[in-house]
Amino acid sequence: GIQVEQSPPDLILQEGANSTLRCNFSDSVNNLQWFHQNPWGQLINLFYIPSGTKQNGRLSATTVATERYSLLYISSSQTTDSGVYFCAVADDYKLSFGAGTTVTVRA
């Protein structure tokens, strides 16, 4: 299956700071999604982005499919941004998840 590596594993931010999370994958994909898992375990869809760039408020994402990586940008971070961010990819219909990046935003 496709290997997915996320970095960094942990990230501590001061409120208001910007950050970049990275997702590398080992093969061509037809599906790439970014999720935020909140403290109650709910996975919240952030982006469906197998290629290109998208923005949603303070979050944006870019996937360079030819180079097999995706970036998630968080700007002006808030304490509610804390949680685990997962990247998941698929080359068929089955998503493979990375290990996640745990983000802690301090007030």
Partner 1 sequence: GAVVSQHPSRVICKSGTSVKIECRSLDFQATTMFWYRQFPKQSLMLMATSNEGSKATYEQGVEKDKFLINHASLTLSTLTVTSAHPEDSSFYICSATPGTSGRETQYFGPGTRLLVL
Q: Which residues bind partner 1 (CB under 8 A)?
A: 30-31, 33, 35, 40-43, 45, 48, 50, 86, 88, 90-100
Tell me the closest approach of the beta carbon of residue 72 to partner 1, in angstroms: 16
Identify which of residues 69 and 97 has a Cβ nearer to partner 1 in the complex.
97
Distances (CA, A) of 95 to 30, 65, 77, 91, 104: 10, 16, 28, 8, 26
Tell me the closest approach of the beta carbon of residue 48 to partner 1, in angstroms: 4
Tell me the closest approach of the beta carbon of residue 32 to partner 1, in angstroms: 10
Identify which of residues 18 and 51 has a Cβ nearer to partner 1 in the complex.
51
Identify which of residues 27 and 48 has a Cβ nearer to partner 1 in the complex.
48
Q: What CA–CA distance (Å, rounded) separates 42 from 38? A: 6
Q: What CA–CA distance (Å, rounded) separates 60 from 46? A: 9
CB atoms within 10 A of CB 23: 24
Tell me the closest approach of the beta carbon of residue 97 to partner 1, in angstroms: 5
Identify which of residues 14 and 45 has a Cβ nearer to partner 1 in the complex.
45
Distances (CA, A) of 42 to 12, 37, 85, 96: 21, 5, 11, 17
